[in-house]
């Protein structure tokens, strides 16, 4: 899903699903520990429309009792990343994928069981769009707010990026990022 508001919960419309993502199912192996050498890739699939025509769905058929996890891509495209992981066991509509590795928590499947122990459709991943911010720092010699052809960029200016989470016009906390300009130019990539 595209997590439009970045809260890690799928509270967006059904049309916000993302097709074309490769999703992998792993077993944790005999040591029952995720991410070790005995983990085994069991199946891969690609997200697609469900029977109602909504994008972003996937499914695996699991026939054996065991402990499993899902691996999602860490980005849906070059301008996205996984959203906040909000894992709550057997809860649907939250993003279960770890931001750094795309791995879900380990979950158990028992094909002869019931509920999520048999049919677990609660393992989801949300993605947020990255934004770019920046342009030019220059000496505005004539103080008109417009860069004129005779005004050049300033080297060595430090630019700070702050967040105003409560929208009160005052930065909250320390700078999220800093950069020093070269020829007055600066560009940020942030999520």
Provide the pLDDT confidence category of residue 166 given band limits of 50, 70 and 90. confident
DSSP letter at 20 equals S
88 burial (CB, 10 Å; 0-12 / 13-18 / 19+) is exposed
Residue 188's pLDDT is what? 46
Provide the pLDDT confidence category of residue 190 given band limits of 50, 70 and 90. very low
DSSP letter at 116 equals G
Note if the pTM is more than 0.75. no
Residue whose tokens read 């989470």: 165
Contact between 153 and 183 (Cβ < 8 Å): yes
Residue 88 has pLDDT above 60, yes or no: yes
Q: For residue 121, give both structure tokens.
A: 């459709």
Return mean pLDDT, the chain: 86
The C-alpha atoms of residue 73 and residue 80 are separated, in whole angstroms, by 11
**May I ask the CATH architecture of the domain 1-129?**
Sandwich (2.60)
At 110-137, the pLDDT tens digits run 988 888 888 888 899 999 888 777 778 8
Range list for CATH 2.60.40.10 in the chain: 1-129
């Amino acid at each position: 899903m595209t997590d439009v508001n970045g809260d890690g919960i799928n509270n967006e419309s059904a049309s916000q699903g993302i097709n074309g993502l490769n999703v992998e199912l792993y077993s944790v192996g005999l040591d029952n520990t995720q991410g070790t050498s005995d983990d085994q890739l069991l199946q891969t699939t690609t997200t697609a429309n469900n029977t109602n025509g909504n994008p972003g769905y996937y499914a695996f058929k699991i026939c054996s009792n065991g402990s499993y996890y899902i691996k999602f891509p860490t980005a849906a495209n070059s301008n996205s990343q996984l959203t906040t992981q909000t894992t709550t066991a057997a809860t649907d509509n939250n993003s279960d994928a770890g931001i750094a590795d795309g791995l879900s928590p380990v979950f158990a499947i028992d094909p002869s069981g019931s509920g999520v122990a048999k049919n677990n459709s609660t393992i989801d991943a949300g993605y947020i769009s990255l934004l770019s911010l920046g342009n030019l720092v220059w000496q505005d010699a004539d103080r008109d707010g417009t860069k004129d052809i005779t005004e050049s960029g300033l080297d060595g200016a430090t630019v700070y990026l702050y967040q105003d989470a409560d929208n009160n016009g005052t930065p909250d906390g320390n700078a999220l990022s800093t950069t020093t300009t070269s020829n007055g130019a600066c560009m940020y990539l942030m999520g």
